[in-house]
Chains A and B, each alone.
Chain A
Amino acid sequence: MNSAVSLSMSAAPPAQRIRLSLDDYALRTGLIILIILLAISVVFPLYSLLSKSLEDMDGKFVGLQNFREYFETPALFTSITNSLGVASSVALIVMVIAFVYAYALTRTQMPLRWLFRGIALIPILAPSLLAAISMIYWFGNQGVLKSWLAGASVYGPIGIIIASCFWVFPHALMILVTALSTADARLYEAAEALCTPKWRVFWTVTLPGAKYGILSAGFIVFTLVITDFGVPKVIGGRFNVLATDVYKQVVGQQNFEMGAVVSLVLLLPALLAFIADRWVQRKQVALLSARAIPFQPKSEPLRDGLLFVFCAIVAVILIAMLGMAAYASFVTFWPYNLTLSLKNYNFDVMDGGGWEAYYNSIRMAIYCAIIGSGFIFFGSYLVEKARGITWLRTILHLAAMLPLAVPGLVLGIAYIFFFNHPDNPLGFLYGSMGILVICTIVHFYTVSHLTCLTALKQLDPEFEAVSLSLKTPVWRTFQKVTLPMCLPTLLDVASYLFLNAMTTVSAVVFLYSPETMLASVAVLNMDDAGDIAPAAAMALMIVYTSAIFRVFHALLARKLNRRTQVWRHK
C-alpha cells in the first residue's frame, strides 16, 4: 500500500526522434483528458476553497479578515493545540505497539502468525466511528469496565486517543510489516560472528533498517488522526478538535466561510506530513542491494513466547472492540433490558436514512471499485507507458499524487464550494450519487495510482517495443498483455476502493443528499440523535459487508493468480 515509487520514469532515449503514430496521438489525448479530469476534480475545488476563505458571507473579497477572526476566537484556537496533542499521542502509542507487533510477525517464529496478521486487519473493515461507539459501551458511564478509568471520563481526550489507536492500527502495521520484512541476512550474520549483543544488533541493524518505514507510518497515523472527525464527534464530549470544528461550522451553523478557514488550517499539518513522508520515501529507495540475502528468522522460545503474549493481548483488545459493538447492537435496551433482539436493526424508523442508506453505500462502493480502478489503472498506464512527452506524464503523476495530501474533510468542503457554485455547468452533479463516487475515487486516488504504477513497472518495456516493431496497435498489446498481467493488481485496487467507499465518512458527510444517504453517514447521524445502539448496528452491517467482500476478493484473486500469473513462477 505504501509502495516506494520514485518519480524517475523510463524516459525515451533522447537522440532519435520517433515518428508519432496514431497510437501515440491516442495516448497523448488520453493523457490530456485525464489531466483535465483531475484538474476539475482536485485542483479547481481546492482553488474555490481557498478563495472562499477570503470572502465574507455575501461573497465580497475581504482578504485575511476571516483568518484574523479565527485566530481571535480562543475556543477555535485551542482546537489546534488539542488536535496536535491528540494526533501526536496516538502516533506515539500506535507506533510502539504496531512496531512490536510487526516485529513479531516478521522477525520471529512465533506460532499463529497468520492468525495475528488477519486479526490486526479487522479495524479496516469498519468506519472509525465504530471504535468510538464501542468505547462508550466499554468505558462510558454505563460501560462494563468504567471502573478501570478510575473516575476519569471517557468523553474527551482519553476516549479519542484509545478509539483512534484502534482504527489506525492496521494502517501503521502494514507499513511496518513491509519495512521489517525486507532485511539483509548478511548484516545479522556478521553481527553474530562478531558476538554483538542482541540489543545492540536491534539498535544498530534492525531499527536503522526500518527507520524510514517507522517515520512514514508515524506521518500517516498523524495525518489520519488529525483529519478524522468521526471519533471526536462521537466521544469527544466537550473536547474540541479542528476536525469537529469544521463540521460544526459547516453543518451546524452553515458558516461556510469560517469552515473554509478551519479546513485550510487543517490542511497545513496534513500537507507538512505529506511532504515529510515523500522525502522519507525518496530516501528509502536504494536500501536493499541486489546481492542482499533475505533474512530468515530463527526460533527463540523465550522471545517468541513473550511476543506471543503481547500479540495475544493486542488481538484480544481488537476483537473486544468489535465484539462489544456487535453484542450491543443486539441488546434491546442497554443497560436496562439485556435480552437480545433485532430491534436496533430496524433502521427504517430511525434517523439516518434507513436501510436505503445501506444499499446506497453498496451501490456507491461498487461504482467506485469499477469506475475508479478503471480510470486509475488507465492513468498509471499512461504515466508509465506513453512514449516521449515526459513533462506531460510528470504533470499527470503529480496530479495523481496531490489527493494524498488533501484530507477527506477538506476535499468534501472544497466540493461543496466548487460544484454548488451557481455558475458551474457541472452543478447538476451536486447532491447526486455521481459526486459521491467522484469524491471517493479522488480521495483514495493516490494509493491506488501508486499500486498500479508498481505493477506496471514490473512489466518489461520490451513488450511495447516488440509490439511496435510487429506493428501491433497499442490497444491490442494493452488488452492481450498488459491488462491480463496486471489483473490481480487491478483487483486489489478495486477492493481497496470498495472497502474505503464503504467506511469513509469524512468527505461524503458534506455531500450526501436525502436520496444518497450512506451507511457510514447514517452511523454518525444516528449517534447524533442519541440512537447509539442502532448506530452500532449500522456500523456492524458495514463490517459484515466488507468482510464478505474481502473473502470474495481473496477467492477471486486466487483463481486469477492461477490463470494469469504463471509467468511469475517459471
Chain B
Amino acid sequence: MTLLSRGVLGLAIGLLLAIPVSAETLTVYTAVEAEDLKRYASAFNEDHPNIKIRWVRDSTGIVTAKLLAEKNNPRADVIWGLAATSLMLLQSEGMLQSYAPKGLGKLDTKFRDSANPPSWTGMDAWIAAVCVNTVEAKRYNLPTPTSWMDLTDPVYKGHLVMPNPNSSGTGFLDVSSWLQMYGERGGWQFMDNLHENIAWYTHSGSKPCKQAARGETPIGISFAFRGAKSKAAGAPLDIILPKEGVGWDMEATAIMKGTKKLAAAQKLVDWSITKKANKLYNQGYAVVAYPGIAKPVKHFPTGILDAMIDNDFEFAAVNRRSILGQWQKRYDAKSEAK
C-alpha cells in the first residue's frame, strides 16, 4: 500500500507541475473557424518556430465579451481574427496597443484603422449570405429567396434559422446591415417580421448554414465562406446574396495593451499582414486585405464585391451595445411568449 500512497503523492505533484510555463507562448484570442487555426499557426511557425500560439477560440460575441470582462486583468497578448467592429469597441475602451506593422503600406487602406499608428489591421472581409438547402426547399415547396424582404414571407415560417447577434459576429453584422439599409425604424420593423419566421436563434454564426447543409432547417442566415465550405463537403446548398446587399465585417488583428510579450506580439502582427498570410486567408475568404492576390474561392457566390454594402463601421462599433441590448429585449424575451 505504501506503493499506492507514493503513487498518489507522485501524481499530485505531477499535477501541480503540469501547469505549463513557457516564455515564448503568446495567448491569442480569435474567432476564426476552428478548422483554420491549425493551418494559421503552422504557417506562422514556419517563419517563427520559437513563438508558440495558444489559441482561445470562441464566437465573436463571446470573445468580445470575454475581453471586456477581463479588462482589468487581461489574459490575451494578441487578438488575431476578430471582427473589426469589436476591435473598434475595445479601442474606444483603451484596451489596444497601437502599432504600425512592417509592410503596412502595402495593405488596402480600407483594411486598417485610419489612425497612425493604427490600433488594428485587417485580414479579410467576411460576408453575410443565405444558405438554402435545395432538396429541402423543394420538399417544403419554398421559393428560392432573392432578397432579405423575401424572407419575411410567411411561407418560410419555421424554416429559417439565424445566429443570435449577442454571441455571433455574423448575427451582429446582419443586424447592423439591416439597420443601415432600412434605417432605424425600418430595420427593427424588418426584424420583427423576420422573427415570426425564425425557428430558433443559434449561438454560433456557422451553425445556421451547417444546419441548412444537413437539411435540419431549409434556410440558414450565415456567411458566404461557411456556405462555400459546406457545399464543397457535398451539401445540396445554394448560397444566396440578397439583392438589397449584404452586410460584412473585417477580421482584424491587434495587440493588447499591457502585454508582457510585446516583441513576440509585434512579430506575429507583422507576419499577419504579409502576402503569405493573406494567401492563407484567401483559401476561405474571397476578399483579403492585401490587394491583387485574391483568387476566386470555389463555390463562392459571384458578384460578391458588388453585393457588399457600403458598411459604416463607425456606426456599428459605436452602437454595438445599444443594438444588442435592444435586440435582446425584443427577441430573447419574445421567443418565450410564443
Contact = CB atoms under 8 A, between A and B. Distances in A.
Given A251-B62, A367-B15, A334 B34 contact: no
Interface residues of A, number: 49
Interface in A323-378: 333-337, 348-352, 367, 370-371, 374
Contacts of A334: 214
A73 interface: yes
B65 A254 contact: yes
A147 interface: no
B20 A515 contact: yes
Contacts of A155: 199-200
Contacts of A513: 56
Contacts of B214: 142, 333-335, 532
Contacts of B7: 370
B263 interface: no
B12 A371 contact: yes
A357 to B, nearest CB: 12
A514 interface: yes
Interface string B173-201: 00000000000000000000000000111
B215 A479 contact: no
B215 A434 contact: no
B204 interface: yes
A351 B68 contact: no
B167 interface: yes
Contacts of B167: 252-253
B12 A252 contact: no
Interface in B1-25: 1, 5, 7-8, 11-12, 15-16, 18-20
B203 interface: yes
B65 to A, nearest CB: 4
B336 A348 contact: no
Interface in B36-70: 38, 54-57, 61-62, 65-66, 68-69
B235 interface: yes
A351 B158 CA distance: 27
B115 interface: no
B234 interface: yes
B207 A142 contact: no
B216 A254 contact: no
Interface string B220-263: 00000000000001111000000000000000000000000000
Contacts of B235: 333, 336
B302 interface: no
Contacts of A351: 33-35, 57
B216 A141 contact: yes
B326 interface: no
Contact of A254 (B34, B66, B203): B66
B239 to A, nearest CB: 16
A142 B34 contact: no
A46 interface: no
Interface string A66-96: 0000000111001100000000000000000
A369 B54 CA distance: 29
B207 A528 contact: yes
B62 to A, nearest CB: 6
Given A142-B214, A433-B18, A78 B336 contact: yes
Nearest to B33: A351
Interface string B302-338: 0000000000000000000000000000001101111
Contact of A238 (B135, B216, B217, B338): B338
Contact of A349 (B35, B203, B333): B35
A432 interface: yes
A75 B336 contact: yes
Contacts of B91: none
Contacts of B152: none
B112 interface: no
B199 A367 contact: no
Contacts of B34: 349-352, 529
B102 to A, nearest CB: 28
A530 to B, nearest CB: 3
Contacts of A433: 15, 18-19
Contacts of A422: 73
A140 interface: yes
A529 B206 contact: yes
Interface in A130-179: 136, 140-142, 153, 155
B202 interface: yes
A370 B336 CA distance: 45
A370 B5 CA distance: 10
B207 A253 contact: no
Given A238-B336, A351-B57, 18 more contacts: A75-B333, A141-B215, A238-B338, A240-B335, A251-B62, A253-B167, A254-B68, A333-B235, A335-B214, A336-B135, A349-B38, A351-B33, A351-B34, A370-B8, A371-B12, A513-B56, A514-B55, A528-B203
10 pairs of A and B residues whose beta carbons are closest in the complex: A530-B210, A530-B207, A254-B65, A351-B34, A75-B333, A254-B69, A238-B335, A349-B35, A237-B200, A432-B19
Interface of B: 1, 5, 7-8, 11-12, 15-16, 18-20, 33-35, 38, 54-57, 61-62, 65-66, 68-69, 73, 135, 158, 164, 166-167, 199-204, 206-211, 214-217, 233-236, 332-333, 335-338
14 contacts: A253-B65, A333-B233, A335-B214, A337-B234, A348-B38, A350-B35, A351-B57, A367-B15, A371-B11, A371-B12, A422-B73, A434-B18, A514-B56, A514-B57
